[in-house]
């Protein structure tokens, strides 16, 4: 089974996370930030990942530590669950609409972390979540997982729709890139 469990305890957050890549998109998520939970559920659903996540963070400060540490933990779980990465598709890109919004997400599960994005939002907050924290989540996730992640927010007017298109697209890209298609490492170097 391609799965991992992460427990992360710091002075800012306490996280218990369980991830199964070959699941059915079942989730039990509670970060204390409703909109973030909504986006994580969408991502896991479209990835087909089973995700259990409980985070107790210092939300009296703000949501930054919670969001970043969830990204670090989820990335670490993905990296562990992928193991030696033998046989995975590795690359994937998706173009995902959400009403008037459209987002391109491209990933390479390469063990070379990088994030390139052009996310611009009009609102400062969605519910109790700062929109600038989405960048922090994605950066922490990509670097902790060891993936190259490109996000091109192509259009949109509603920030909820913009962000949801990104997270649904990320889930779809992860599902395809993590899919096992053979027995060999898909690299001209022979290793990822």
How many structural domains are present in the chain? Answer: 1
CATH assignment of the domain containing 13: 3.30.230.40
113 pLDDT above the threshold of 90: yes
Grouping H, G, I as helix, E, B as strand and the rest as coil, residue 166 is helix
pLDDT tens-digit profile of 123-134? 999 999 999 999
User: pLDDT at position 188, please?
Assistant: 74
pLDDT tens-digit profile of 9-34? 999 999 999 999 999 999 999 999 99
Give the separation between CA 132 and CA 177, rounded to whole angstroms.
27
pLDDT tens-digit profile of 138-181? 999 999 999 999 999 999 999 999 999 999 999 999 999 999 99
pLDDT tens-digit profile of 72-91? 999 999 999 999 999 999 99
Question: In terms of Cα–Cα distance, which of 49, 65, 47 is closest to 57?
Answer: 65
* Domain membership flag for residue 105: yes
Give the separation between CA 98 and CA 30, rounded to whole angstroms.
24
Residues spanned by the domain of 90: 3-178
Residue 26: C-alpha distances to residues 101, 107, 145 (Å): 26, 23, 21
* Domain membership flag for residue 192: no
> Measured in whole angstroms, how far is the alpha carbon of residue 37 from the centre of its chain?
12
Q: Considering the entire predicted model, what is its pTM?
A: 0.96
Contact 97, 165 (CB under 8 A): yes
pLDDT tens-digit profile of 36-75? 999 999 999 999 999 999 999 999 999 999 999 999 999 9
* Domain membership flag for residue 185: no
Rg (the chain; Cα; Å): 16
User: pLDDT at position 191, please?
Assistant: 75
Q: What are phi and psi of 83, to 5 degrees?
A: 60, -130
Task: List beta partners, residue 153.
Answer: 103
pLDDT tens-digit profile of 175-190? 999 999 998 887 777 7
102 pLDDT above the threshold of 80: yes
* Domain membership flag for residue 166: yes
* Domain membership flag for residue 128: yes
């Amino acid at each position: 089974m391609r799965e991992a469990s992460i427990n992360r305890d710091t002075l800012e957050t306490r996280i218990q996370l369980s991830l199964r890549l070959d699941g059915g998109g079942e989730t039990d998520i509670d970060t204390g930030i409703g909109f973030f939970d909504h986006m994580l559920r969408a991502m896991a659903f479209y990835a087909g990942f089973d995700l259990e996540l409980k985070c107790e963070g210092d939300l009296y400060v703000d949501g930054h530590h919670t969001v970043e540490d969830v990204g670090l933990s989820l990335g670490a779980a993905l990296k562990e669950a992928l193991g030696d990465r033998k046989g995975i598709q590795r690359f994937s890109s998706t173009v995902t609409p959400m009403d008037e919004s459209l987002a391109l997400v491209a990933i390479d599960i390469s063990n070379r972390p990088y994030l390139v994005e052009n996310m611009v939002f009009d609102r400062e907050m969605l519910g109790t979540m700062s929109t600038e924290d989405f960048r922090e989540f994605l950066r922490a996730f990509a670097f902790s997982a060891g993936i190259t992640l490109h996000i091109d927010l192509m259009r949109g007017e509603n920030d909820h729709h913009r962000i949801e298109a990104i997270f649904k697209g990320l889930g779809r890209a992860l599902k395809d890139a993590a899919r096992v298609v053979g027995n060999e490492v898909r690299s001209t170097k022979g290793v990822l």
